[in-house]
Structure 1
């Protein structure tokens, strides 16, 4: 599950990490939420100089995947995540897995540990890489066209089973694509979905660290650096057990539809 995340890295670091040129200076975003525009990286049409690999380019998409065959988005659920184990065969994501794989740069993501006692608040965590200031999540993109001809680029983040570090908080986590695998993940011309299945697995233990933070992150109107300030953890967390929902405790989301 990935319901909110942050992107704070400097533009030069984003460019160098993702090997892209066409990007304007993005402001720090501390609380990126569903339905908001998010920065993604796709394989371009041109090839890199001296290489048979396509250039990479950055673009903005709406976070909330919308398959092209949907007629009315009001009748379709908001797909912010796609399960990597089933995305290849699922109707909503099948075409995007084959033709429109993307990278979603992030500085870390938020997750909530839900207590056994429902009267208690969920504990929020900011989960960030221990080394480096940026990470790339695997994602999928689709361009949805309305009846009047207008188009909206939409995207989702792929998730996988949580590793041992994250499983004490939640049973799912975003799929992390390592820098050396960027080209293979983005190459939808020669790399079919079955060729990149090995990339859709939990990242190694020790890659992330989880920082307990306040519930300010629950409201998308809170967009300042203060939401990342560490707080005392409410209780020693037991291993996470799924409670039947993957919806983060947030409200006030924006909409592009």
Structure 2
């Protein structure tokens, strides 16, 4: 799935969308790793008539979660949504399919199971030719007011799809193996944000697959541990005797690339 994101430069969003209007937007501090289940505040691009950049909480709180206990138990499952569910009339995500957003990132992390290694190997993945990647998302406003302001906070989810050839080899284990974030190219980004899309238009965007040749990736130190939130998180780390993604031999320290 997609639980770990980086966004090291918010200016990249304005470069990609120079027409952006700010909504209620607090200054965003660069981050090299945030985990979804901490429900961080994150910038998202919306288009309710004109493009806006707003800060929403990662992790939708659907209106059927009525109590704090229900939210604590269920919200962790709402940070990602399978793209296939968006077109399923029985799914919650179908109900909010017209509330579309783009989730900016400078990269994401995924974990690979490798025989002989006790722990999964973390990878940092980003797009080769563009410093910013944009992931399809859906948003809604929580029905539970902020206790301090009385406002209904915006929340969002990241859409995932079946992994491409590269990502299927990296994200190869666990209950959600073989998934990747639904990264979009520029044409699909604009289409996803277009108001008034019908279900066929939405389905066509959901079919987009980021080509494996567009991705660059490398192994890093474990990310889900307390550490300074700086560029060291995404620095390459070589692992002794780590087979390459095709299983052809192993890499040793100093020969990661």
- Which deviates further from its counterpart, 148-157 or 28-37? 148-157
1:224 aligns with 2:219: no
- Mapped to 2, the partners of 1:139 and 1:67 lie a distance apart of 15
- Mapped to 2, the partners of 1:116 and 1:59 lie a distance apart of 43
Give the direction of change, closer, same or farther, for the CA distance of 1:10–1:238 in structure 2 (3 Å limit).
closer
Structure 1's unaligned 5+ residue stretches are 46-54, 241-257
**Partner residue of 2:109?**
110
- Mapped to 1, the partners of 2:180 and 2:19 lie a distance apart of 26
- Mapped to 1, the partners of 2:228 and 2:87 lie a distance apart of 36
CA contact (8 A) 2:191 2:205 kept: no
Residues 102-251 of structure 1: matches in 2 within 5 Å? 102-117=101-116, 120-146=118-144, 150-170=151-171, 171-189=178-196, 191-200=197-206, 201-215=208-222, 217-219=223-225, 222-234=228-240, 235-237=242-244
| Residue 105 (structure 1) shift | 0.7
Give the direction of change, closer, same or farther, for the CA distance of 1:194–1:14 in structure 2 (3 Å limit).
same
Q: TM-score, normalised to structure 2's length?
A: 0.80
Structure 2's unaligned 5+ residue stretches are 172-177, 248-257
**Partner residue of 2:40?**
36
CA contact (8 A) 1:100 1:188 kept: no
| Residue 132 (structure 1) shift | 1.7
Question: What does the per-residue CA deviation read over 1:6-45, in whole Å, with 9 as the maximum and x for residues that have no partner?
Answer: 112351x321213443346533210122100111000033
- Mapped to 1, the partners of 2:185 and 2:65 lie a distance apart of 33
1:61 aligns with 2:61: no
- Mapped to 1, the partners of 2:63 and 2:228 lie a distance apart of 32
CA contact (8 A) 1:143 1:153 kept: yes
Residues 16-95 of structure 1: matches in 2 within 5 Å? 16-23=15-22, 26-34=28-36, 35-45=39-49, 55-72=50-67, 73-78=71-76, 79-89=78-88, 90-95=90-95
Highest RCO, 1 vs 2 (Cα 8 Å, sep ≥ 6)? 1
Question: What does the per-residue CA deviation read over 1:168-212, in whole Å, with 9 as the maximum and x for residues that have no partner?
Answer: 1111111112112223211242x1233121222321121111110
- Mapped to 1, the partners of 2:226 and 2:215 lie a distance apart of 24
| Residue 146 (structure 1) shift | 2.1
Report the structure, 1 or 2, having the larger helix content.
Answer: 2
Match of 2:210, SS? Answer: coil
Give the direction of change, closer, same or farther, for the CA distance of 1:194–1:219 in structure 2 (3 Å limit).
farther
Q: TM-score, normalised to structure 1's length?
A: 0.80
CA contact (8 A) 1:167 1:239 kept: no
| Residue 150 (structure 1) shift | 4.9
| Residue 75 (structure 1) shift | 4.1
Give the direction of change, closer, same or farther, for the CA distance of 1:184–1:122 in structure 2 (3 Å limit).
same
CA contact (8 A) 1:168 1:238 kept: yes
- TM-align CA RMSD: 2.3
